[in-house]
Chain A
Amino acid sequence: MNQELLPNLFRSEYQKIVSVLCNLFGIHHIEIAEDIVSDTFLTASETWAIKGIPENPTAWLYTVAKNKTKNYFKRNDVFEKKIVTEIKYNSTLSNPEIEIDMSDKNITDSQLAMLFTVCNPSNSDEAQIALALNLLCGFGISEIADAFLSNKEVIYKRINRAKEKLKEENIKIQNPNPTEIKERIDTVLKTIYLLYSEGYYSTSQNTTLRKDLCAEAMRLVYLLIQNQTTNLPATNALMALMCFHSSRFDARITQNGEIILYQDQDESLWNQELIDKGTYFLSQSSSGNTLSKYHLEAGIAYWHTQKKDTPEKWQHILELYNNLIILEYSPIVVLNRTYALSKVKGKQESISEAEKLNLTNNHFYYSLLGNLYSGYDNKKALQHFQTALGLAKTTSDKNVITKNIDRLCLKD
């Protein structure tokens, strides 16, 4: 049997079937849905090993999942009495034979309903992300633990607590109406954005896993784009941002997982196809009059795909950073803005601006000062880099700073 087939099918189909069944059973019986689907994949691995792979593996999985669900209905008295009355397809009440709709449309609708359920603000951001990875992306507990640089126990508890919370709050799994979409799309986009960032900025050594995380985040945004009611300017802006970032995935990290700074990247490793897609989604995002932070970040990421250092480029980037920092304060945006300022206004002005920032416990702040002072006052630059080194915690951060110090000392 093809070694790759089953894991790939698991990744792509597990969450589809879980979504459809969850949508059918309701939030209180998520585990039953998960058990049925896990059991389906177990049956597949056993049967396929003996009888060979069926002609249409996906259809096979759907049929088996449907049968297992029906059997569950028949077997389980409690289930029948308590849940059949609650389930969605009311027409089936008069018809004892339950229909499980595995059409593309129902799969997409169910996934969308689950996405809005999982991204419920009653759970913390990290709990939402873990739950999304588990239920919507088919990630196992150990993969999630690896991505979060945490242990399985912690993640297992986090996911279970998150599920319990949704049950307590009696969150309905249903397709959100336009008013609900308006109210909740921000939370959904934020969770997907954080999920993406988890993959993109994770210090996990597992590059394949990090790429998978990013790809899953993009798949979820694409789900929103495919649906007319959630295909909003901010959704497209987020997609553009992810395309632009992902285009540099292979260029920004060495074989050993060390970060390569933007100015040192080999641009031939940038993925032009993703840049083009990002440009497309960015143009799609410009309809309407909303300007989300994703628009601004996508704009910044767009200008970064232009390798040539023109005054125009940095003027645009500074403008976008100005808007972004006015919209929402964040130390990392502050530092990036100051860097852009140095490109537009020169060292002197940006140093005096930088020294007004009160970020004295942040090693990136001292690295920035070190960079600004390099070639202007190298003695001061060295001092700042050394302060940064003292504050940095991870090995990859320390390596970058040490490289800067070495570079500075070579010049003297």
Chain B
Amino acid sequence: MNEFILIFRRDFTTKENQPSPEELQQHLKQWQNWFGSLAAQDKLARPLQRWDGQGKLVSKAKGVTDGPFVEIKESIGGLIIIKAKDYDEAAEIAQGCPVLNLGGNVEIRQAL
């Protein structure tokens, strides 16, 4: 069994791309069920970790700036580390990720 990092990104800044409070509520339920389902299949390689939505960005030009970052359209919403046989299985798991329903994406990397 290999380990893969799944990084969830979506646009948190553009106003018209944000879900309504009801949609967000629904969305959170989807996340919870998805995490529950991964845990039930014993696919989580590490305990879940929550991250704040703010963040900071460091660059040579601007030094340290507070997020969210208008120049970068998509920022990290969270990440998890899962157990999977190969990239195919990891990708199949990522297909069920709720971030896709809000126009986001999942980046996958294998641990070496």
- Are B36 and A329 closer than 8 Å at their CB atoms? no
For window 24-57 of chain B, which residues contact chain A by CB distance below 8 Å?
Answer: 29, 32-33, 35-37, 39-42, 44, 47-48
A-B contact pairs, 14 of them (CB 8 A): A318-B36, A319-B32, A322-B32, A322-B35, A322-B39, A325-B36, A326-B39, A329-B42, A337-B36, A338-B40, A341-B33, A353-B37, A356-B41, A357-B40
- Are A326 and B41 closer than 8 Å at their CB atoms? no
Residues of A within 8 A of B (CB): 318-319, 321-323, 325-326, 329, 334, 337-338, 341, 353, 356-358
- Please give the number of chain B residues whose Cβ is less than 8 angstroms from any Cβ of chain A in the complex: 13
Q: Which residues of B contact A323 (CB under 8 A)?
A: 32, 36
Q: Which residues of B contact A326 (CB under 8 A)?
A: 35-36, 39, 44, 47-48
Chain A binding site: helix, strand, loop or mixed by DSSP?
helix
Q: A318-B33, A322-B35, A326-B35 are in contact. Are A358 and B40 (CB under 8 A)?
A: no
Chain A to chain B: the 9 pairs with minimum beta-carbon distance, closest first:
A322-B36, A325-B39, A334-B40, A326-B39, A322-B32, A356-B41, A325-B40, A329-B42, A326-B35
Q: Which residues of A contact B39 (CB under 8 A)?
A: 322, 325-326, 329
- Are A353 and B40 closer than 8 Å at their CB atoms? yes
Minimal Cβ-Cβ distance residue in A for B42: A329
Q: Which residues of A contact B35 (CB under 8 A)?
A: 322, 326
Distance of B30 from chain A, by nearest CB (Å): 11
Distance of A360 from chain B, by nearest CB (Å): 13
Distance of B47 from chain A, by nearest CB (Å): 8
Q: Which residues of B contact A322 (CB under 8 A)?
A: 32-33, 35-36, 39
**Interface hub of B36, B37, B42 (most chain A Cβ within 10 A):** B36
Distance of B81 from chain A, by nearest CB (Å): 14
Chain B binding site: helix, strand, loop or mixed by DSSP?
helix
Residues of B within 8 A of A (CB): 29, 32-33, 35-37, 39-42, 44, 47-48
A326 to B42 CA separation, bound complex (whole angstroms): 9
Distance of B39 from chain A, by nearest CB (Å): 4
A397 to B37 CA separation, bound complex (whole angstroms): 27
Q: Which residues of B contact A325 (CB under 8 A)?
A: 36, 39-40
Given A326-B36, A337-B36, list of 6 further CB < 8 A pairs? A318-B33, A322-B39, A326-B35, A326-B48, A341-B33, A358-B41
Minimal Cβ-Cβ distance residue in B for A322: B36
Q: Which residues of A contact B37 (CB under 8 A)?
A: 353, 356
A189 to B24 CA separation, bound complex (whole angstroms): 37
A322 to B39 CA separation, bound complex (whole angstroms): 8
A338 to B33 CA separation, bound complex (whole angstroms): 11
Q: Which residues of B contact A356 (CB under 8 A)?
A: 37, 41
Minimal Cβ-Cβ distance residue in A for B40: A334
**Interface hub of A322, A329, A353 (most chain B Cβ within 10 A):** A322
- Are A337 and B40 closer than 8 Å at their CB atoms? yes
Q: Which residues of B contact A337 (CB under 8 A)?
A: 36, 40
A25 to B63 CA separation, bound complex (whole angstroms): 66
Minimal Cβ-Cβ distance residue in B for A329: B42
Q: Which residues of B contact A357 (CB under 8 A)?
A: 40-41
**Interface hub of B32, B35, B40, B48 (most chain A Cβ within 10 A):** B40
Q: A326-B48, A353-B37 are in contact. Are A358 and B42 (CB under 8 A)?
A: yes
Q: Which residues of B contact A319 (CB under 8 A)?
A: 29, 32
A120 to B7 CA separation, bound complex (whole angstroms): 41
A357 to B42 CA separation, bound complex (whole angstroms): 8
A318 to B39 CA separation, bound complex (whole angstroms): 13
- Are B42 and A321 closer than 8 Å at their CB atoms? no
Q: Which residues of A contact B33 (CB under 8 A)?
A: 318, 322, 341
Distance of B85 from chain A, by nearest CB (Å): 12
Distance of A212 from chain B, by nearest CB (Å): 35
Distance of A284 from chain B, by nearest CB (Å): 26
A341 to B32 CA separation, bound complex (whole angstroms): 12
A358 to B44 CA separation, bound complex (whole angstroms): 14
Minimal Cβ-Cβ distance residue in B for A338: B40
A312 to B29 CA separation, bound complex (whole angstroms): 13
A58 to B61 CA separation, bound complex (whole angstroms): 81
Minimal Cβ-Cβ distance residue in A for B41: A356
Distance of B45 from chain A, by nearest CB (Å): 12
Minimal Cβ-Cβ distance residue in A for B33: A322
Minimal Cβ-Cβ distance residue in B for A333: B40
